[in-house]
Structure 1
Amino acid sequence: MSNHTLPATRRKLTLVVLGLAALIITMLCAFALPSLHSGPHRVPIGVTGTEEATKALRQNADTDAWDIRVYPTTAALHNAVKDRDIAGGLAVTAHRVDVYTATAGGPSATGALTALGENVAAQQTTRATVHDLVPFTTNDPRGAGMTAALLPMIFGGIFPALILGNVFPGHRGLRTRITGALLFSLVVGAAIAAVLQFATHSVDGRYWLTALGLILGTAALSTTLLGLQALLGMPGFALGGALMMLLGNPLSGLATGPHWLPTGWATLGQLLPPGASGSLLRANAFFDGQGAALPALTLTVWAGIGIALAFLADQRGRRLAPTRPQPAAI
């Protein structure tokens, strides 16, 4: 090794070591910090009942945990839960406390809301009755199948960038890679929806609505990674994969609901494709599309970013491609 190449090698080694260390630290923070501070964080819930009861509940409840909104009737409270305006609610009377939950919208928030209702009932020396307005399916009462769908969606974004990049390399294969990724997303999204609906019976909404959300989520992941890979090479692919897997996966809130994470972490998680894909799946599979607009828009923006990056890489490749010599005139 010459004296000229030794400093360059040392610089490259230093950058690799520092990059890997930063990656591990980011992974630790993404997995550990939200878990250490998990719990209800400004979960929107409703309350209805007498003015005295609702006022007492709003004054005594933990304002860091709950965002309490008053509704005039129990029917209005029901509609707000089903429309995903709130995560659940309490109907308080002198003789009983009715707890209305939506377990499919966030199992952890449901458990905390049930405990809150039981505490209110104990203070009034009465009993609490729980009504799950939007439960998981009877075949999958804990939503295990829906939670398990997140990793296949993430890998559904990683695999096309990795495999298509090797099969159709270089600038000339870029458009083929994008086309292949979109076709792959179509097939995989429809297949995951079919497994969840017809094999594990984890969801029971309209199949094509669920499938379209999964197709969009997979497309957003795959096009983003393909665009980063096309523009920045393997460092871009590694950056995108780490972002989706190490940040997007633990911050998605799919297993618990986003309100169970600290506010900043929850917001970041919902802005990343895994979190937006999980929210879109939840909205389409259990709430008939209520609350689907924002995650669908988020995923569309990510897909647009990925395609824009690929377009920039395509333009750069055209500029760098050697021009073919024109045939001599006869």
Structure 2
Amino acid sequence: MSSSPAARGARPAVLLPVLFAVALTVLLTAFAWPAVRSQPRDLPVAVAGPPAATAQLTEALTAREPGALEVRTVADQAAAEAAIRDREVYGAVVVGDGGPQVLVASAAGPVVAQALREVAGGLGAATGTPVPVEDVVPAPAADPRGAGLAAAGLPLAIGGILTAALTSRLLPRLRLRIAAALGMAVAGGMVTATVLGTWLGSLSGGWWTVTGVVALGIAATALVLLGLESLAGTPGLAVGAATVVLLGNPLSGLASAPELLPAGLGTLGQLLPPGATGSLLRSVSWFDGAGAGSPVLVLTAWVVAGLLLAAVGGSLRRRRPPVAAAPAPVAVAA
């Protein structure tokens, strides 16, 4: 028994609110959950000074907030500063003849630097003497809160998605799609270097260096999505784009630091193109390339994976038998 036209017309009115609620739940969870649950988790910091003092300080720091800090002991202030510049730690507490001193690197993450300043405040309250704070690698004066880099995550992710979507729709041949995607990635890198670097002063790396980093990041996203589209069509492209937006961007750590995200999610975010691109931009902008090896490897792996997926998808398409054309109608004499 078939349903009436009125009943069939009412189904979308019932389904649409349900689908909207599901979609909004996914979006809110993806973007709000990491931000709300943000707190230090095994945040690497160093302590330096006499062995007795560093042992007592390490115990005090780990007991203050269990699981928040991963405390490493180094020889002296010079070693602590070297560890910060090499991106091995986010900051340090140095105990000298004049008392403790806290070293931070706001360029590595203003949110983390602020958390370490609060640690300095706690030490000062415990000792009754203000603890000085030195910013070893400061954020750029034009953007001390790192707002430009934090805001760049979503536009760069969308840039990779748009590159894949446009080239897959407008260009019929796979080689042309890849060539155009690489060209668009370079153009995106140039725009980012000009806007965030030259104009806003949010990035301090060389113009060509920033261009190359952003181009690699956009290419990593675009080529993987092109590969998925070549292999699985529009559904593959859609799933890849949703992964970049719902996982890659919120878990990138650009607004804070990977160690501040819920357990395991920060590590996952650094294995996706947005997080790796952000970490690489920090390294080349303020740390002379220290810590750049891992994100370069991640982005290169995504580029290679995208090219391999595209090659496999193109090969499968060539092997499919052509769709037979419908026979033309034969005219019958009256």
Q: Quote the Cα distance in structure 2 between the aligned partners of 1:19 and 1:293.
A: 42
State the shift of 1:23 in Å. Answer: 5.8
Amino acid at match of 2:68: A
Cα offsets for 1:82-118 (capped at 9, x unmatched): 1101000111246432111111111121111111122
1:11 aligned residue: none
Greater Rg over alpha carbons, structure: 2
- In the alignment, does 2:297 pair up with 1:294? no
1:130 aligned residue: 133
8 Å Cα contact 1:43/1:87 also seen in 2: yes
* Percent of residue pairs identical: 41
Q: How does 1:1-330 map to 2 (within 5 A)?
A: 25-61=25-61, 62-93=65-96, 95-169=98-172, 173-320=173-320, 322=322
8 Å Cα contact 1:137/1:202 also seen in 2: yes
State the shift of 1:285 in Å. Answer: 1.1
Cα offsets for 1:290-328 (capped at 9, x unmatched): 1011011111111111111110111012112649xxxxx
Change (3 A) 1:36 1:201: closer
Q: In structure 1, the residue corresponding to 2:254 is in which secondary structure?
A: coil
Change (3 A) 1:289 1:18: farther
TM-score between both structures, scaled by the size of structure 1:
0.87
Amino acid at match of 1:195: V
Q: Quote the Cα distance in structure 2 between the aligned partners of 1:272 and 1:18.
A: 30
Q: In structure 2, the residue corresponding to 1:149 is in which secondary structure?
A: helix
State the shift of 1:22 in Å. Answer: 6.9
8 Å Cα contact 1:204/1:286 also seen in 2: yes
Q: Quote the Cα distance in structure 1 between the aligned partners of 2:317 and 2:21.
A: 33
State the shift of 1:213 in Å. Answer: 1.2
Question: Aligned Cα RMSD in Å?
Answer: 2.3
Q: Quote the Cα distance in structure 1 between the aligned partners of 2:152 and 2:130.
A: 38
Q: Quote the Cα distance in structure 2 between the aligned partners of 1:25 and 1:304.
A: 34
Q: Quote the Cα distance in structure 2 between the aligned partners of 1:145 and 1:192.
A: 10
Amino acid at match of 2:226: L
8 Å Cα contact 1:101/1:132 also seen in 2: yes
Q: In structure 1, the residue corresponding to 2:145 is in which secondary structure?
A: coil
Change (3 A) 1:291 1:181: same
Change (3 A) 1:130 1:267: same
Cα offsets for 1:202-225 (capped at 9, x unmatched): 122222222211111010011011
Off by >6 Å, runs of 4+ in structure 1 = 16-22
Amino acid at match of 1:29: T
TM-score between both structures, scaled by the size of structure 2:
0.86
Change (3 A) 1:32 1:303: same
8 Å Cα contact 1:94/1:124 also seen in 2: no
Unaligned runs of 5+ residues in structure 1 are 3-15, 324-330
State the shift of 1:29 in Å. Answer: 3.1
Amino acid at match of 2:135: D
State the shift of 1:182 in Å. Answer: 0.9
Amino acid at match of 2:290: Q
Q: Quote the Cα distance in structure 2 between the aligned partners of 1:21 and 1:270.
A: 30
Amino acid at match of 1:306: G
| Count of residues in Structure 1 that have an aligned counterpart in Structure 2 | 307
Q: In structure 1, the residue corresponding to 2:92 is in which secondary structure?
A: strand
Q: In structure 2, the residue corresponding to 1:151 is in which secondary structure?
A: helix
Cα offsets for 1:24-79 (capped at 9, x unmatched): 55434322332332111111001112333211221122340001111111111111
Q: In structure 2, the residue corresponding to 1:38 is in which secondary structure?
A: coil
Unaligned runs of 5+ residues in structure 2 are 3-15, 324-334
8 Å Cα contact 1:42/1:63 also seen in 2: no
Q: In structure 2, the residue corresponding to 1:222 is in which secondary structure?
A: helix
